[in-house]
Amino acid sequence: MQKHPDPIRLRESALLLALFALFLFASPLTAWWADDRAHWLMPYALWLFVILLGAWLRRRYPHHDV
């Protein structure tokens, strides 16, 4: 029988993902990836990483809203 995850833990993981994205895109860290010497692909790679992390969370908890 499959064990259902705790809904509190699911909300925490979604909140952590949102905070991680906020940290990447709305903090002083933006100076690192928005620098003129940074590769032009860097913002897209960071967004791809956030999207893949969200997809992994959705796959991990398929029967709940993440």
- pLDDT tens figures, 42-60: 999 999 999 999 888 888 8
Residue whose C-alpha is closest to residue 50's, from 13, 11, 24, 12:
24
Tokens found for residue 43? 């913002």
Residue 1's pLDDT is what?
46
DSSP three-state, residue 28? coil
**What is the model's pTM?**
0.74
Question: Does residue 11 or residue 37 have the better pLDDT?
Answer: 37
Across residues 35-48, what is the average pLDDT?
A: 90
